């Protein structure tokens, strides 16, 4: 049982260990920072942005000084991205032309 870590409920509420401090957060963190390696000022596009991992990726991107553009399905999810999670823009793949929206939200260097 060497690969198990006991969580400390004094550090964070137990449900956090299933989300941001667990597999979801680790996937978002290492996927963005180790694989993607974004630089401040770059734009990070997140598909599935309203989901567990995608929402954390967008917030990490913002912390890194990047613009975060999320793709999600539905007005409510897109509103959640911009109003609650502070994404710079959200694209509703159900009602928008995604290619045109990406062109509009993602400046070319």
Each residue's pLDDT, cut to its tens digit, for the chain (109 residues) gives 577 778 888 988 888 888 777 888 889 999 999 999 999 999 999 999 999 999 999 999 999 999 999 999 999 999 999 999 999 999 999 999 999 999 999 977 5
91 forms bridges with which residues in the sheet? 71
- Residue 74: the pLDDT is 97
- What is the spatial distance between Cα 17 and Cα 35, in angstroms, rounded to a whole number? 23
- Residue 65: the pLDDT is 98
- What is the spatial distance between Cα 60 and Cα 28, in angstroms, rounded to a whole number? 8
In order of their start, the domains of the chain are 14-105 (3.40.50.720)
- Residue 41: the pLDDT is 95
């Amino acid at each position: 049982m060497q690969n198990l870590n006991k969580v400390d409920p004094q550090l964070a509420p137990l449900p956090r260990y299933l989300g941001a401090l667990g597999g979801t957060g680790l996937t978002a963190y290492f996927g963005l920072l180790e694989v993607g390696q974004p630089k401040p000022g770059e734009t990070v596009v997140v598909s599935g942005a309203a989901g567990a991992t995608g929402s954390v990726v967008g917030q990490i991107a913002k912390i890194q000084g990047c613009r975060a553009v999320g793709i999600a399905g539905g007005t409510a999810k897109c509103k959640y991205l911009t109003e609650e999670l502070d994404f710079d823009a959200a694209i509703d793949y159900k009602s928008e032309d995604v290619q045109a929206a990406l062109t509009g939200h993602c400046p070319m260097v």
